[in-house]
Structure 1
């Protein structure tokens, strides 16, 4: 085997290695994006469930006033405050 054919083999193997590294990077990026998407979904679901819980608690007038007082302290944006009539 000549040096030239060995150089060609090395070049082919190097190209294959580069392709495999690129595939690995793409797979890692997909997995990270998938994980981020699931975290966002979980966060949204938590917010919906907490909101539902608070709305249920607000059926009691005493609890409603207590919750609205806490929300009044928490919210800073006028447009958010309007949603709750504050």
Structure 2
């Protein structure tokens, strides 16, 4: 086997290695995105469930007054306050 043939084989294998590394990076990126998407979905679900609980509790007038007072204290921005007619 000549040196030139060996160099060609090395170059071919190096190119293949580059391709495999790129594939690995793509797989890692997809997995990270999948995890991130699931975390965002879980966070949204928690917020919906907590909001549902608060709405259920607000059916009682005493609880409603307390919750709205807490919310009024919590909200800092006028645009948020407007959502709740504060």
Name structure 1 gaps, 5 residues minimum.
none
In the TM superposition, what whole-angstrom CA distance separates every residue of 1:20-76 from its partner, at most 9, and x where no partner exists?
Answer: 000000110111111111111111111011000000000000000111111011101
Q: Superposition RMSD on alpha carbons, in Å?
A: 0.7
Indicate the SS of the match to 2:14.
helix
The count of aligned residue pairs is 86
* 1-structure distance, mates of 2:52, 2:4: 72
The TM-score, its normalising length taken from structure 2, stands at: 0.96
- CA-CA distance at 1:16 after TM superposition: 0.4
Name structure 2 gaps, 5 residues minimum.
none
Match of 2:16 in 1: 16
Any runs of at least 4 consecutive aligned residues in structure 1 with deviations exceeding 2 A, and if so which?
A: none
- CA-CA distance at 1:83 after TM superposition: 1.7
The TM-score, its normalising length taken from structure 1, stands at: 0.96
* 2-structure distance, mates of 1:46, 1:68: 20
